[in-house]
Amino acid sequence: MTEKKIRIMVAKPGLDGHDRGARILARCFRDAGFEVIYTGCHQTPEQIAATAIQEDVDLVGLSCLSGAHRYLFPRVVELLKEQGADDIVVIGGGIIPDQDFQTLYDAGIKAIFTPGSPLDTIVRWVRTNIRPRVNL
């Protein structure tokens, strides 16, 4: 049996179109050997949660540069939980002021990567913290 690959969904919640970081990260995850799904811009939290479950991903990476992360990020975690998928890990990135970090951690966001984070730091974080989920 071949080892199961980590499946990652990179998602852009809300109306923000700044997708340079999200697209670079999607490509970087692919090059690192992960399976990648990229949603494109303008996804609602509901769409993101539904796709994450349907695609059976292990990790959701949210990217938001519009300042709406305070509502959008926790909402994705909440929806996953409501649908019994709280074993899908959610991380976030974008323009996130320092003072918002704790609120987001408290809401269940496992890690936050802001501009200037080296790609290999993010990849290493994924390898250390994420295991392919076991399907029952």
Partner 1 sequence: MNMYFSKNTLDQSARLTANWEDEVRRSAEGNAERKARWSTVSDLEVKRLYTPEDIAETDFARDIGAPGAYPFLRGNQATGYRGRCWTFRMFSGMGSAKDTNTRWRMLLKEGQTGLSTAFDFPTLMGYDSDSPKARGECGRCGVAIDTLDDFLSLMDGIPMDRVTTSMTINPPATALWAMYCAAAESNGVPLTKIGGTIQNDMLKEFIAQKTFMCPPEPSVRLISDTVAFGTQHVPKWNTISISGYHIREAGSTAVQELAFTLRDGIEYVEDVIRRKGLDVDEFAPRLSFFFNAHIDFFEEICKMRAARRIWARVMRDRFHAKNPRSLWMRFHTQTAGCSLTAQQPYNNVVRTAVEALAAVLGGTQSLHTNSLDEVLCLPSDHAVEIALRTQQILAEETGVANTIDPLAGSYFVESLTNRMEEGALAYIEKIDGLGGMIAAIEKGFPQMEIADAAYRFQQQIEAGEKVMIGVNKYENAAKQEIPVLDIDERIEEEQIARLAEVKRKRDSRAVKRDLDALKSACKTGKNVMPFCIEAVKDRATVQEICDVYREVFGEYRDPGLY
Enumerate binding residues for partner 1 (CB under 8 A). Answer: 14-20, 22-24, 26-28, 38-42, 44, 66-72, 95, 97, 99, 114-116, 118-120
- Min CB(18)–partner 1 separation in Å: 8
- Min CB(128)–partner 1 separation in Å: 19
Residue 84 or 118 having the CB closest to partner 1: 118
- Min CB(1)–partner 1 separation in Å: 30
Strand ranges (DSSP E) for 1-136? Answer: 7-11, 35-38, 59-64, 89-94, 112-113
Q: Starting at the edge strand that comes first in sequence, how are the strands of the sheet with 89-94 ordered?
A: 35-38, 7-11, 59-64, 89-94, 112-113
Residue 33 or 40 having the CB closest to partner 1: 40
Residue 108 or 133 having the CB closest to partner 1: 108
Residue 15 or 83 having the CB closest to partner 1: 15
Residue 123 corresponds to which tokens in the numbers above? 């990849």
- Min CB(94)–partner 1 separation in Å: 11
Strand 89-94 vs strand 112-113: parallel, antiparallel, or unpaired? parallel
Nearest alpha carbon to residue 132 among 54, 35, 62, 61: 35
Rounded Cα distance, 127 and 86, in Å: 19
